[in-house]
Amino acid sequence: MGSERGLGFISVIVTLLIIGALYYGYLGQGGMNEQLTRGGVVKTAGQAIACQMNRQAIERGIMTWTMSHPGKQPTLKDLERDGISINRCPEGGRFKVEGKKVSCSLHSDSG
């Protein structure tokens, strides 16, 4: 009875190793490697996330700026003039201030 249990356990381990090797082979050769080599989707998604984070940082800067300038609507130049850092879109999009929201000419405001 003990040898049947051992054989079943070994079969499961061997099966998992084969599945793991096939999965790793796919990702290493055909899946992610091509996208990373060409830039592809991974790079674009990373740049869109960086752009979103930059817009959120500018929106926080707007909130800070409006506390010291009540009743006024800042421009990006106003923020920079007051020492608030304005990071750019990594893909070269242009930021536009609309009220207290910041939009990018390349990336939709999904966040």
Q: Which domain holds residue 82?
A: 41-111
φ and ψ at residue 15, rounded to 5 degrees = -60, -45
Q: Which residues have C-beta within 8 Å of that of residue 105, sequence separation ≥ 6?
A: 89, 93, 94, 95, 96
pTM, two decimal places:
0.59
Averaged pLDDT score across all residues of the chain: 80
- For residues 46 and 85, state if they share a domain: yes
> How confident is the model at residue 52, as a pLDDT?
92
- For residues 33 and 47, state if they share a domain: no
Q: Are 56 and 18 in contact (CB under 8 A)?
A: no
> How confident is the model at residue 105, as a pLDDT?
92
Q: Are 65 and 74 in contact (CB under 8 A)?
A: yes
101-104 and 95-98 as β-strands: parallel, antiparallel, unpaired?
antiparallel
- For residues 34 and 22, state if they share a domain: yes
What pLDDT band is residue 45 in, cutting at 50, 70 and 90? Answer: confident
Is residue 43 over pLDDT 70? no
- For residues 45 and 29, state if they share a domain: no
Is residue 10 over pLDDT 90? no
- For residues 82 and 99, state if they share a domain: yes
Is residue 5 over pLDDT 80? no
